Amino acid sequence: MATPKNTPSTARKPAASAKNTQPAAPKTAPAKDNSVVSAAEEKERRRKIREAQAILKADRTWKKFLAQQEDELMRLRDEILPTVTETTRSTLRSGDSAAASANGQHTADAGSEAEYRDLTLNLLAKDRETLYEIDAALERIRLGTYGICEMSLELIPKGRLEVRPYCRLTVKCQEEYEKKHGTAARFRPQDSRLVGYAGVQNDVESTVSLDDDAE
C-alpha cells in the first residue's frame, strides 16, 4: 500500500492582528497657562485699589463723609424695607383672592386687577433692586472699598455719591456700561456671590476702618 504523499496543509493560518487604521490624533500645542497673567492682573488690580484707598484715607473729610453716607444708606433701607415687606404680603394675598374668585369675575374687572398686579410687581422689583444695592454699598463701607469705581478702580466723586449713595461706578463707566448692555442692565461683580471686589473682600490689609484717624 503506497504511503500518501505529504500535501500542504489547507488550514488557514491565524490572521495577523489588524493594524489600527484610525488616524492619529493631531498633536496640539500645550494649553497656554494663563495663571501667570491672571495673577499679574489681580496683583495690579489690588495695587490700584490700595492706591485709591490710600487717597481716601489721606482725605481728612472722608471719615466724616463716610459716616454720613452710612447713615443715609441705613435711612433709605429703613424707609424701603417695610414697603417691600408689606407690598409682598398684600400682593400674595390679592393673588390668592383673585384665583379664588376668577370664575365669577367680570372680564374687564379681571383685566384691571391683573394690570394693577403687574404694576405693583414691577414697583416691588425696583424696590428690591434698590435694597440689594443699598446692602452692597453698606458692605463696601465695611470692606473699605466704598467710593471706588468697580470698573475703572478710580474714585467716584463725592457729589455723585451724595446724589446716589449706593452707586458702584463713575458717570463715565456707567455710560459705557449702559451703552454696551442697555440702560436696564445693572452692573454686578464677576462673581455674583461676592460684594465688592473679587479677591479683596477677605483681605484684611485692604480695608480702611472708620476708626482709623487720617494721617
Report yes or no: 36 and 100 within 8 Å, Cβ to Cβ: no
pLDDT score, position 38: 85
Q: In this predicted model, which residue has the larger pLDDT, 154 or 122?
A: 154
User: What one-character-per-residue DSSP string does 19-35 give?
Assistant: P--SPPPPP-PPPP--H
Name residues whose C-beta falls within 8 Å of residue 149's C-beta, 6 or more positions apart in sequence. Answer: 155, 156, 168, 169, 170, 173
pLDDT at 158: 97
Segments making up each domain of the chain, as ranges = 48-198
Comparing 152 with 119, the larger pLDDT belongs to: 152
Least confident of 17-26, 62-71, 128-137, 190-199: 190-199
Q: Give the per-residue pLDDT at 143.
A: 94
Q: What is the pTM of this model?
A: 0.63
Residue 161 pLDDT more than 70?
Answer: yes
Alpha-helical runs (H) found in the chain: 35-58, 62-100, 107-143, 158-163, 171-181
pLDDT of 8 > 80? The answer is no
Nearest-angstrom CA–CA distance, 143 and 189: 15
Res 199: pLDDT: 36
- pLDDT tier at 83, thresholds 50, 70, 90: confident
20-68 pLDDT tens trace? 555 555 554 554 544 445 888 889 999 999 999 999 999 999 999 999 9
The pLDDT assigned to 99 comes to: 52
The torsion angles phi and psi of 201, rounded to 5 degrees, stand at -55, -40
Per-residue model confidence (pLDDT) at position 50: 95
Hey, which residues does 148 pair with through a beta bridge?
155
| pLDDT category of residue 209 using cuts at 50, 70 and 90 | very low
Q: What is the pLDDT of residue 70?
A: 98
Q: Which band of pLDDT confidence, cut at 50, 70 and 90, is reported for residue 104? A: low
**Residue 184 and residue 176 in contact, taking contact as beta carbons nearer than 8 Å:** no
Higher pLDDT, 76 or 183: 76
Could you tell me if 205 and 46 are in contact, meaning their C-beta atoms sit under 8 angstroms apart?
A: no
Give the architecture-level CATH label for domain 48-198.
Up-down Bundle (1.20)
